[in-house]
Amino acid sequence: MRYEPVTRRFDVGCGTGEEVRSLAQIVGPQGRVVGIDGTERLVAEARTRTRANPIIDLVLAMRMRCPSPRASSRQVGWSAC
Ligand SMILES: C[S@@+](CC[C@H](N)C(=O)[O-])C[C@H]1O[C@@H](n2cnc3c(N)ncnc32)[C@H](O)[C@@H]1O
């Protein structure tokens, strides 16, 4: 997968956070990555695997609809399941 050079990323449907960890390397220490998933045990596992990285936030939530195109900008990138 190819990403634009933005400093904030959301991975909607982050599972155990493999993509989140890749995104964290891409955005670097000044960036921020938020992973969202609707399955509690997957979010718990993702938290365990990313515990040492302070730029990652993991949220237990269900996506109800696709993010608006207006939500995307040069500052925020979306990666969805
Ligand atoms: C193919 S996996 C994604 C793998 C993940 N990107 C990774 O890097 O490991 C799809 C994930 O989307 C989540 N999911 C599916 N529908 C969802 C929804 N409506 N809201 C939140 N999470 C959802 C599932 O729980 C599952 O973990």
Is residue 6 packed enough to be buried (19+ CB in 10 Å), middle (13-18) or exposed (0-12)? middle
Please tell me the predicted confidence (pLDDT) of residue 19. 94
pTM of the model: 0.81
Average pLDDT value for the chain:
83
Distance from residue 62's CA to the centre of ligand 1 (Å): 9
Please tell me the predicted confidence (pLDDT) of residue 2. 64
Please compute the mean of the pLDDT values over residues 27-49 and round it to a whole number. 95
Please compute the mean of the pLDDT values over residues 25-51 and round it to a whole number. 94
- Residue 69's pLDDT band, with cuts at 50, 70 and 90, is low
Architecture of domain 8-80: 3-Layer(aba) Sandwich (3.40)
Higher pLDDT, 78 or 53: 53
38 lines ligand 1 (CB under 6 A): yes
50 lines ligand 1 (CB under 6 A): no
Is residue 33 packed enough to be buried (19+ CB in 10 Å), middle (13-18) or exposed (0-12)? buried
Range of weakest confidence among 4-18, 30-44, 45-59: 4-18
Distance from residue 70's CA to the centre of ligand 1 (Å): 22
Top mutation candidate among 3, 12, 14 for ligand 1, by most atoms within 8 Å of CB: 14
According to DSSP, the residues that pair with 77 across neighbouring strands are 9
